[in-house]
Structures are given as C-alpha cells and as structure tokens.
Amino acid sequence: MKKRGKILKDEKAISPIVSTVLLIMIVIVIALIIIFWARGFVSEVIEKDIGGNPKRVNEYCNEVELLGNINEDNSFGFENIGNVPLYGFSLKLTELSTVKSEIISFTENANVNPGFGVNLDSSYDSGIKGYDMYEEVVVIPILLGKAEGGTKQFQCPEENGVVI
C-alpha cells in the first residue's frame, strides 16, 4: 500500500530537465506563431530623407505644397512650391459625375522638384482632355521613399492633394 505524500522509487515520471526543455520549446513556438500572425497587421515603414532629416514618408505628405494653374488654351497643371520633390502624381478626374483616377509616375531621375511644374494636356497623355471638360480635377502627390526591399512609391492621402 502507498502512503500519501511519499513518492516511491519504482514510479516513473518525467525528469525536471526534460519538462523544462519542453515548456521552453512550447513558449518559443507560440511566440513565433504570434510574431508571424502579427506581421500581417503591421505595414512596412517607408522613410524619406530630405536634407538629413529622415521621417516616415507619410509625414512628408503634410509638407507637400502644390499650386494649381489653368492656362488660356484650356490645359491645366500644377507647380511644386514646397520643399518636397514629387516622384509622380495621381489625377482624380470627375467628369459627368464619374470619377476616373490616373496615376502618372516618373523615373527616379525625373521628379517634379521644388520650383518646377507640370502642364497637363492631350500631348502629355492622350486620356487627358481640356480643363473645361471636368467638374473637378484633384492632383494627389506620390512620393518616393526607402523601405527594406529598396525604393518604394507612396501615394499621399487625397487630403494632401490640390484641387485645380
């Protein structure tokens, strides 16, 4: 008969070392599962460095300043009057209550630098009509930043765009 509270030598049990190793391995596996699961919720950080001041690229969107213009020949465009170079832009064209978006990007060496502008007409892109054909034209900036895999484009929110 066994007495309570005493362990007899002929009983088998897991050694404390083996149980500790198993617990540590279970914790590591659970931690890896949580890390891989959470990666889907965290977006990739894209940074931009202007004048030795690195920030997340979305913070530079607030510093973009564009001035829209309409020419006598019914073409339209904008001038970059801020300090942030544009990699490209997205046009949101509203025509007869239909919204059409068009992304226009440049090469890395052909940005719309501060002080320069772009004039948009049919010679620039065959899908662009005269300004009077649209109810509203919005130019939304696209910036270029650095991410883990190299350089990436970032389209600013529409609120950072300019209505021409």
Token digits of residue 113:
């630098």
Picking from 109, 112, 108, the residue whose alpha carbon sits closest to that of residue 139 is 112
Which range marks the domain in which residue 136 is found? 47-163
Does 25 reside within a domain? no
Instruction: Kindly report the pTM of this predicted structure.
Output: 0.63
- The enclosing domain of 91 has a CATH number of 2.60.40
β-strand 76-80 against 117-120: which pairing, if any? antiparallel
Q: What is the pLDDT of residues 58-94, one digit of tens each?
A: 788 888 888 888 888 878 888 888 888 888 888 888 8
The answer to whether position 152 is within a domain reads yes
How many whole angstroms separate alpha carbon 164 and alpha carbon 91? 10
User: Would 140 be classed as within a structural domain?
Assistant: yes
Report helix, strand or coil for 106.
coil
Q: Is 149 part of a structural domain of the chain?
A: yes
- Report which secondary-structure segment, H or E, holds 16: helix 16-38
pLDDT at 31: 95
Which range has the worst mean pLDDT, 15-19, 66-70, 123-127? 123-127
Asked if 145 contacts 152 with a C-beta cutoff of 8 angstroms, the reply is: yes
> Quick check: is 86 in a domain?
yes
- The pair of three-digit structure tokens given for residue 147, joined into one six-digit string: 């991410």
What Rg, from alpha-carbon coordinates, does the chain have?
29
Residue 138's closest CA among 62, 73, 78? 78
Position 42 in a domain: no
* φ, ψ for residue 156, nearest 5 deg: -65, 160
Handedness of CA 24, 28, 31, 37 (dihedral sign): negative
The mean pLDDT value for 118-147 works out to 76
The answer to whether position 122 is within a domain reads yes
User: How confident is the model over 143-157, as pLDDT tens digits?
Assistant: 888 877 778 888 888
How many other CB atoms are found less than 10 A from the CB of residue 151? 12
Number of domain units in the chain? 1
User: Does the residue 94 lie in any domain?
Assistant: yes
Give residue 163's pLDDT.
85
With residue 33 as reference, give the H or E element that holds it. helix 16-38
